[in-house]
Structure 1
Amino acid sequence: MASDNGGGGHCGEPESSDSLKTFGAVLKALRDEARLTQEQFAPRVGYSAAYIAKIEQGKRFPPRDLLDRSEEVLGAVAARVLAAAAKSLTRKVGLASWFLQWAAIEEEAVTLFSYESSVIPGLLQPESYIRAIFERRLPPLAEEQFEHQVTARLARQCLLTERPNTTFSFIIEQAMLERRMAGNEVTRALIDHLLTVGRLRNVEIQAVPLIQEDHSGFEGPLSLAETAENQWVGYVEAHDSSMLITDPKAASAMLQRYGKMRSQALSHQATTSLLEQMRGAL
């Protein structure tokens, strides 16, 4: 696990399961049979060689579209073998059971929106902030569960770099930063991390200022994902429970609220200036 330096680019590795290792071994065998290196195979299925390597090592859960794309590269018979291996896969160790369905949607979305008012979105949290959150969980987590959840959350953040064609938009409340949860050191690491992640071309971070008379986020936090089929799905969670919203009318209402909030929040550039100003004041 990396040190708490607040920098971007580190991706914690989830604990591998036997089913993930088996799937990875099958994929590697089929790729070798086709006489393709990882560097040759990866661009043909639309992923980086590093990402394919981690799938073959059992360190990444394979996206659903990888199976479809592999058929074009490896052939129909190999695709059926790969599909059979995929049926036994176990989802990420360390992620809460009520979150797993949304985590699967995140991995394949072409657009992800998130608004948070009480805690920085998980995809934007540096390790020190993650640990501060889990240390405050009630009832307290067992040590093994604590480490699994920290590792799983860090692993999810690789989506930001491993899916460069996915658009990520985050709206956060300035008040969450002003709170300085866990102290100045953790807050400095958090702001540094937000500034680093915000430089990615596919990531936009917007802050809602402390004083904002016209604010459409009063109904609470929300997440939205656009699927590969260009359908929108919503997600809300609170107190160890969650709800996946697939009804098109309800998802549309959430999308309208999010769009309004984007117009009310500071721009990405203005948010960067605010973060730099706050960092300098710490």
Structure 2
Amino acid sequence: MPSRKDPDASANVPSFYGAELRYRRELAGLTLEQLAEGSFRGVPFLSQIERGERRMPLDLSRHVDQKLGTDGFFERRCEDARRAKQSGHAEYFADVAEMEQHAETIEEWAPMLVPGLLQTAPYARAIVRAAMPRATDREVEEKVSARMRRAELFDAERPPAFWAILDESLIRRGALPDEGMAELLEHILGVVHATRSILQIVPQTSAAHAFMMGMTKVMTFPDAPPVVYVESLHSGQLIDYPALVKQYRESYDLLRAAALSTEASLAMIQAAAEDYRNGEHRDRLERRPLA
């Protein structure tokens, strides 16, 4: 049996509390199954917390304190871990950004926005500013920097296998001036080629298909069950219920079948980038027939 890999408690605040949770649990002589009992949380969730990969929610911290007799220790400290993990991300996305670093595969459906892992700083800045018009420049730049850091996972020794499916409208909608859009599309092509990722486009001529609503991310892990993340404008939800995760993954497979091939998708992005570079994008839009 391989030796157990203990978390590095010095790495960050979540890792510290994860290591402390494991220490206190083992000191109490409890297994993960015994600690999870009565918490409405699964063993994989607790295991990820012990490894510093997910923050401890308030309801679970209270359960753990009661089960381990830790006198409110974890309830008092779970807010510290939450702030440390947020690091420029929306609170509801903080766990997801951390989990991306440990994922074996990441599969995204993006009907409205280019996925964060493929964004350029100008695009991220425009999106953040549109969603938060009253934010200060410092707040905007903090979020842009956090989004750019996420892409560093592609530099890891064993980066996750990445698969993205985008709606065609994302490459047609001028979220930036033409030059910025050309740079964004060329950046997407560069990331896909450099990381040997897979990208598909669902054409605007496509009929009804699975996943017509909402951004979705599916992540699998080498040592934990898969999860699904769904997001709307000001909220997001992690789903780990196995039956529901299975349904989402089946829908994603159906979406793959409805999308263009990788070759056709990349050719479409390349052509769109050239149109933006040559100032032909708006001319093509004006010549498109109205529905």
Q: TM-score range by the shorter chain?
A: 0.5 to 0.7
Q: Is the 8 A contact 2:85 2:95 kept in 1?
A: no
Q: Structure 1: how far apart are the matches of 2:12 and 2:137?
A: 24
Q: Match for 1:102 among 96, 102, 109?
A: 96
What is aligned with 1:250? 244
Q: Is the 8 A contact 1:222 1:236 kept in 2?
A: yes
Say yes or no: does 1:270 pair with 2:256. no
- Report percent identity of matched pairs: 25
Q: Match for 1:121 among 115, 119, 122?
A: 115
Q: Match for 1:175 among 169, 172, 176?
A: 169
Provide TM-score, normalisation by structure 2. Answer: 0.65
Provide TM-score, normalisation by structure 1. Answer: 0.67
Q: Structure 2: how far apart are the matches of 1:198 and 1:226?
A: 19
Q: Alpha-carbon deviation of 1:243?
A: 0.8
Q: How does 1:139-150 map to 2 (within 5 A)?
A: 139-150=133-144
Q: Is the 8 A contact 2:87 2:94 kept in 1?
A: no
**Structure 1 vs Structure 2 CA RMSD:** 2.5
Deviations 1:3-48 (A, max 9, x none): xxxxxxxxxxxxxxx9759x9xxxxxxxxxxxxxxxxxxxxxxxxx
Deviations 1:50-81 (A, max 9, x none): xxxxxxxxxxxxx859xxxxxxxxxxxxxxxx
Letter in 2 for 1:269: E
Q: Could you say which structure has the greater relative contact order, defined with CA pairs below 8 angstroms and 6 or more residues apart? A: 1
Deviations 1:164-190 (A, max 9, x none): 442111010111111111221221111
Q: Match for 2:149 among 126, 151, 155?
A: 155
Say yes or no: does 1:280 pair with 2:282. no
Q: Alpha-carbon deviation of 1:214?
A: 4.7
Letter in 2 for 1:271: S
Q: Unpaired runs of 5+ in structure 1?
A: 1-17, 24-62, 66-86
Across the two proteins, how many residue pairs are aligned to each other? 205
Q: 1:163 to 1:100 in 2, by over 3 A?
A: farther
What is aligned with 2:233? 239
Q: How does 1:53-64 map to 2 (within 5 A)?
A: none
Q: How does 1:141-220 map to 2 (within 5 A)?
A: 141-162=135-156, 164-220=158-214
Give secondary structure in 2 for the equivalent of 1:211: coil
Q: Structure 2: how far apart are the matches of 1:120 and 1:263?
A: 20
Deviations 1:84-143 (A, max 9, x none): xxx986225211111111112211110111101111010100111111112212342122
Q: Is the 8 A contact 1:232 1:252 kept in 2?
A: no
Larger Rg: 2
Deviations 1:141-169 (A, max 9, x none): 12221111111100001112325442111
Q: 1:246 to 1:181 in 2, by over 3 A?
A: same
Q: Structure 1: how far apart are the matches of 2:223 and 2:256?
A: 24
Q: Structure 1: how far apart are the matches of 2:237 and 2:86?
A: 19
Q: Match for 1:91 among 73, 78, 85?
A: 85
Q: Unpaired runs of 5+ in structure 2?
A: 1-9, 16-50, 54-77, 277-291
Q: Structure 1: how far apart are the matches of 2:129 and 2:176?
A: 10
What is aligned with 1:39? none
Letter in 2 for 1:217: F
Letter in 1 for 2:121: E
Q: Structure 2: how far apart are the matches of 1:163 and 1:105?
A: 16
Deviations 1:229-267 (A, max 9, x none): 252101111122111101000000000011111111112
